Amino acid sequence: MALRGTLGVFALVLGLILPASVLALWPIPTGLSTGTTPLTLAPYFSFDVAIPDAPADLIEAVAQAHYYLETDKLGRLVVGRGVNDTAALKGAKSLSSLKLILVEGAKVQSISTESVKPIGTRSEEYTLTIPEDGSCATLTANSTLGLYRGLTTFGQLWYYYGGVTYTLIAPIDITDVPAYPFRGFALDTSRNFFPVADLTRTLDAMSWVKINTFHWHITDSQSFPLMVADYPELAINGAYSSEETYSESDVQYLVQYAAARGIDVLLEIDTPGHTAIIGTTYPNYVACFDASPWASYANEPPAGQLRFALPEVMNFTASLLSSIAKTLPSYYFSTGGDELNTNCYANDLPTQQQLNATGMTLNDALSSFTQTTHAALMAQGKTPVVWEEMVLNWNVTLSNETIVMVWISSEDAAAVAEKGFRIIQAPSNYFYLDCGGGGWLGDNPAGNSWCDPFKTWSESYTFDPLANLTETQYELVLGGEQLLWAEQSGPQNLDPIVWPRAASSAEIFWSAKQPTGAALNVTEALPRLHDVRYRMVQRGLNPIPLQPQWCALRPNACDLYA
Amino acid sequence: MALRGTLGVFALVLGLILPASVLALWPIPTGLSTGTTPLTLAPYFSFDVAIPDAPADLIEAVAQAHYYLETDKLGRLVVGRGVNDTAALKGAKSLSSLKLILVEGAKVQSISTESVKPIGTRSEEYTLTIPEDGSCATLTANSTLGLYRGLTTFGQLWYYYGGVTYTLIAPIDITDVPAYPFRGFALDTSRNFFPVADLTRTLDAMSWVKINTFHWHITDSQSFPLMVADYPELAINGAYSSEETYSESDVQYLVQYAAARGIDVLLEIDTPGHTAIIGTTYPNYVACFDASPWASYANEPPAGQLRFALPEVMNFTASLLSSIAKTLPSYYFSTGGDELNTNCYANDLPTQQQLNATGMTLNDALSSFTQTTHAALMAQGKTPVVWEEMVLNWNVTLSNETIVMVWISSEDAAAVAEKGFRIIQAPSNYFYLDCGGGGWLGDNPAGNSWCDPFKTWSESYTFDPLANLTETQYELVLGGEQLLWAEQSGPQNLDPIVWPRAASSAEIFWSAKQPTGAALNVTEALPRLHDVRYRMVQRGLNPIPLQPQWCALRPNACDLYA
């Protein structure tokens, strides 16, 4: 990519300690140079989109960026919230425009088109230059997606006090490029349902921290909210109610909403486990359907898994996945594959009869099932994504292109890499946002969360994407994501349980290190994350407070070792 | 009280297992008899307030109850949410009115007046009779406060499906009286600020489960949001901002809002610890003010405690507490008294000089301080409330009337009872709603919540108010409360971190046991708590889901031992 080379000269960083008023940037740009000159945003500030035939979604993104500039009104997180900046701003120059430029020769495509390109072919990098004298600022990128990322950064530069929108750190030169191509957030919409408005609000927040993948665990054993044109009964019988469904147009709307914000939607239909609810429509396809005691047949109620050994179930599943995948622009599709309960199959007569008749082992049958379903997806140009058990617990033939999500433990990445697969880091011991909420099973007051304790933003932030890997394996790590499993979540607590914590991985996988080259550091990061959180509040989200406000207003005063 | 005797005859309970459709009642009435006849609420249903010169707040409460009846529209928590009830409702009788009656000779006073009477003199009991034939239902009580409690129960009886509001369990006879006079919820509004609208919403929710005390921990070391007419500088200098304050009229509004909902406001000005922020106005009154490292001088940042040994500080504090207390109708006022850091005073020159000059020990000085501040409150007719350290860690002379809050551990109640003080059960190991949220101090990614793990509703629900006490000590237990300390809370997560969990103690201290006489039981309670939670959603609150909806729709199917 030419841009990186051209812009590298701007990647200067002044000293080892970032000035206090850069705090609002998140993820921290990979190249950052700032000054100490106050600069205000002119009341008549405008964006100058210097791109012939600019795509509609870029125009909309610019309008959105303008709206945030006018409405964020974020006071600086210091005692007095900016009252002491007023003197410094007297006589400050004003910035009246930001010019958006695509590098010469770049093909003009919509953000939505760029966002769903194959991993490795998207260009998210950009450069942003804001002179201190009020002359035109410029945002340059190889693609509209890069411009979108730069607009997001531009929006984080400004504070507000007493009618004035300003920065104290002009001139600003940023050249920024993500360290990893996959930066995700995963949501389970089966255990409890989330209306479309909750998902669009979440997609907005994801875009603010440059997360680029929405991993949508849309179905599970508890409910099947997805309306599939070829299999409508699955939602009719399997959704919690007719209101608690995602129609085809809902999905198309969300996929488009995401893409316009630089986000690819990785849909997951978890199979062959986590499928009990399919039994309400196809009782013959599901083993140990709602069997009792559920704990003998599943990790959580209700029990029920696809009888993957049966040819009709294999064909049904391949057809179902194809029917869904064909409606989606993403190159990726997850078939799940976690937590298969073997006892369920050991006690399932149809499965045992089929295995006996064919002389196959359960593992053979699973391999056959997986090959068939994956082949159907690959025929549509999709790359399959699976959970780690598919390569670590089972001997299943998979395409080398398959992407593997590590979730049980961060320790497992090395074993997956050993097998040569590309990895998405989603380890429960760092990235599961639901941990620590206590046990939710009934009749068990002493029950705790299985993945106790709660993963604080800072614990998550210490995750090392390359731990235990050899240097040659590094390139297998595509990135990572934080995840919310929704047994104890719904629209009521979505914002506070996710935000701002999910920003931790967003920075790990975009920035990887500080602009100085130093490792990411929780002490440096906390004041910036407060800023992220307070800006989210200004934008109408409900992120949890990370500390007493007394601490938020006094960077590092509440450090344990302060 | 005559009512209890008169109504005792209705206290019949049918069998040991409550019918599934009684689920929505919370706290479970102490006397409950139900049938199996469907009964609908007539579209023209009305309340008949058969009370001459009914107080305005009773009229408003009736209007609110009517509003909930019309707008709750809570579907029954079964698969299909009531679709299968339609047949049973064909030809069902309709209830057209509920008559509200005060027992003969009862003095007609407002709910607000009744709510703030001294503990032990309030009458919350009521009887509610709903015939199966559609003839007039009656709600009878000794007081408007009792009628208010009955209205709350009446509102929990109804489900909705397809345009019909109904119950399946007529006739219904309830006679209900709280087991304990104090049932509270405590909120800290200092670590992070909660606007008035968040508090009124919380008071509404408290009233739905018959919580009768709002323990308002309004100030702490981090901020002083309370505007005190005689000491305005405390909030001017100590609030996070001028917007993040409670004006005198805010407080009066909230106290009145609470009282009209059967809730007394127990205000706490925590002293002499937890007062650092006072040092921004009175630097000479505060020892180790914002001293570093804070961990040497306080349990959390910032350090700073009143120099209680100094006469001017003692007088200031007595005057401050009086200035606040005189504006409040409650008979109770908390002076706090927890977590005094002795190292702070050991290193404080003014304190040491004063102790040397007077020959007093630190304990002597604390006793003197406490006697002075408490005397000032008692002169205004207030009963002081303190945290347990005041009687367990210090040898402080206290009035026998003093009420002691047990918080460090449920194990400590016995020691407090041993000293003969009345007790409010607020043990962190059962009732602290903030536990389990992970460490919040900076620079400590491995930090956990000090009171890990998260206290689930069911863990809280197993609390025994009388554990380790002798029978003669039982009467010392006034009740208890769940508490939210707000280091990691704000308006953004208030609802989901509090609700429906805070309903656990509401039932423990109202019902104490099941109507059958059996002990409270998490397995019996869970389906009812789901109903509480789903009704809260209908009323616009954001309570956390306790389980996947699959479980909520299938009582006990997700029990561990199902």
For the four alpha carbons of B303, B307, B312 and B318, in that order, the dihedral sign comes to: positive
Give yes or no: A339 in active site.
Answer: yes
Q: Which of A13-22, A286-295, A541-550 has the lowest mean pLDDT?
A: A13-22
Per-residue pLDDT, averaged over A305-320, amounts to 98
A contacts of B523 (beta carbons < 8 Å): 442-443
Per-residue pLDDT reduced to its tens digit, B43-63: 999 999 999 999 999 999 999
Residue B404 has pLDDT above 50, yes or no: yes
Q: Are B192 and A488 in contact (CB < 8 Å)? A: no
Q: A75 vs chain B: nearest CA distance in angstroms?
A: 11
- A552 chain-B contacts, CB cut-off 8 A: none
Q: Which of A77-86, A234-243, B356-365 bottoms out in mean pLDDT, i.e. has the lowest?
A: A77-86
**CA gap B279, B506 in Å, rounded:** 37
Question: According to the model, what pLDDT value does residue A292 have?
Answer: 96
Select the residue of A240, A495, A548 nearest B192 (Cβ to Cβ): A548
ipTM at complex level: 0.95
Of B437, B487, B544, the CB nearest to A454: B437
Q: Which of B292, B489, B545 sits opposite A562 (nearest CB)?
A: B292
pLDDT digits (tens, 9 = 90+) for A192-204: 999 999 999 999 9
Task: Check CB contact under 8 Å for B545 and A492.
Answer: yes
Per-residue pLDDT at A396 exceeds 90? yes
Helices (H) and strands (E) in chain A, counts: 20, 16
Give the whole-number percent of chain A exceeding pLDDT 70.
Answer: 96
pLDDT greater than 50 at residue A94: yes
Per CB-CB distance under 8 Å, the chain A contacts of B439 are 456, 458
**Which residues are within 8 A (CB) of B64 and not within 5 positions of it... i.e. 6 or more apart?**
none
User: Is the distance from CB of B38 to CB of B92 less than 8 angstroms?
Assistant: yes
Q: What does the pLDDT look like over B482-522, one tens digit per residue? A: 999 999 999 999 999 999 999 999 999 999 999 999 999 99
Question: Could you tell me the sign of the dihedral formed by the alpha carbons of A386, A391, A396, A402, in that order?
Answer: positive
Report how far residue A402's alpha carbon sits from residue A408's, in angstroms, rounded to the nearest whole number: 18
Structure tokens that stand for B118 in this block: 């001294």
Q: How far apart, in whole angstroms, are the C-alpha atoms of residue B407 and residue B79? A: 41
How far is Cα A442 from Cα A436, in angstroms, rounded to an integer?
Answer: 17
What does pTM read for this prediction?
0.96
- CA-closest candidate to residue B309, choices B275, B379, B356, B343: B356
Mutating which of B192, B236, B432, B492 best tests the A interface, going by the most A Cβ atoms within 10 A?
Answer: B492
Q: For A8-33, what is each residue's pLDDT tens digit?
A: 333 343 333 444 555 789 999 999 99
Q: Is the pLDDT of residue B11 over 50?
A: no
CB-CB neighbours of A197 under 10 Å: 9
Report helix, strand and coil shares of chain A as percent, to nearest 5. Answer: 35, 20, 45
pLDDT for the residue numbered B22: 59
Mean pLDDT, residues A65-84: 95
What pLDDT, on the 0 to 100 scale, is given for residue A13? 39
Confidence of residue B561 (pLDDT cuts 50, 70, 90): confident
Look up residue A24 and give its two tokens.
């609002």
- pLDDT, tens digit (0-9, with 9 covering 90-100), for A437-458: 999 999 999 999 999 999 999 9
Is residue A1 scored above 60 in pLDDT?
Answer: no
**Interface mutation target, options A294, A558, A561, chain B, most CBs of B under 10 Å:** A558
Residues of B within 8 A of A525 (CB-CB) are: none
* Overall average pLDDT of the B288-293 stretch: 96
Contact list in A for residue B446 (CB cut-off 8 A) is 459
B interface test, pick of A244, A522, A550 with most B CB neighbours within 10 Å: A550
Of A192, A447, A458, the CB nearest to B560: A447
Please tell me which residue in A339, A418, A459, A487 is annotated as part of the active site. Answer: A339
- For A299, name the nearest residue in chain B, comparing CA atoms only: B560
Q: Answer whether residue A207 shows pLDDT above 70.
A: yes
Tell whether the model's pLDDT for residue A2 goes beyond 60: no
d(CA B396, CA B390): 6
Rounded CA separation B394/B407 (Å): 16
Contact: B437, A438; criterion CB under 8 Å: no
Q: How many CB pairs under 8 A join A and B?
A: 251
**Does A55 score more than 90 pLDDT?**
yes
Nearest to A112 by CA among A145, A143, A141: A145
Taking an 8 Å cut-off on Cβ atoms, the answer to whether A562 and B453 are in contact is no
Q: Which residues on chain A are in Cβ contact (under 8 Å) with B489?
A: 544-545
Rg of chain A over all Cα atoms, to the nearest angstrom: 25
Residue in A with minimal Cα distance to B461: A445
Q: Which residues contact B453 (CB under 8 A, 6 or more apart)?
A: A436, A438, A448, A449, A452, A453, B435, B436
Of A190, A537, A548, the CB nearest to B492: A537
Q: Which one of A441, A451, A484, A520 makes the best mutation probe of the B interface by having the most chain B beta carbons within 10 Å? A: A441
Sorted by sequence, the CB contacts under 8 Å of residue B503 that are 6+ apart come out as B26, B27, B209, B457, B529, B532
DSSP, res B395: -
The DSSP element (H or E) to which A97 belongs, if any, is strand A93-102
Q: How far is B148 from chain A (nearest CA, A)?
A: 28
- Residue B192: predicted pLDDT: 98
**Catalytic residue (choose from B244, B248, B339, B459):** B339
- The alpha carbon of residue A305 is apart from the nearest alpha carbon of chain B, in Å, by 16
pLDDT recorded at residue B163: 96
Residues of A in contact with B486 (CB under 8 A): 545, 548
Give me A430's structure tokens. Answer: 């760092």
Mapping DSSP to helix (H, G, I), strand (E, B) and coil, where does residue B34 land? strand
Paired with A481 in beta bridges are A184
Domains of chain A (ranges plus CATH)? 31-176 (3.30.379.10), 185-427+463-480 (3.20.20.80)
Chain A closest-CA separation from residue B239 CA (Å): 10
**pLDDT > 60? residue B17:** no
Distance from CA of B68 to the nearest CA of A (A): 20
**DSSP code of residue A239:** S
Set of chain B residues whose Cβ sits within 8 Å of the Cβ of A446:
459
Mean pLDDT of A226-254: 98
Strands (E) across A282-402 are located at 286-287, 305-306, 332-336, 383-387
Given an 8 Å threshold on Cβ–Cβ distance, is A443 in contact with B522?
Answer: yes
Band (A489; pLDDT cuts 50, 70, 90): very high
Name the minimum distance, in Å, from the CA of B421 to any CA of chain A: 30
pLDDT in tens, B104-142: 999 999 999 999 999 999 999 999 999 999 999 999 999
Residues 6+ apart with CB under 8 A from A529: A26, A457, A500, A503, A504, A546
> 3-state DSSP call for residue A254?
helix
Q: Residue B23: what pLDDT?
A: 76
Residue-averaged pLDDT of chain A: 95
Indicate the pLDDT class of residue A561, thresholds 50, 70 and 90: confident
Cβ atoms of A408 and A388 within 8 Å: the answer is yes
Is the pLDDT confidence value at A5 over 50?
no
Alpha helical stretches, state H, A331-480:
342-346, 349-358, 362-378, 389-392, 413-418, 428-431, 457-461
Q: Amino acid identity, residue B48? A: D
Average pLDDT over all residues of chain B: 95
| pLDDT 10s digits, B426-448 | 999 999 999 999 999 999 999 99
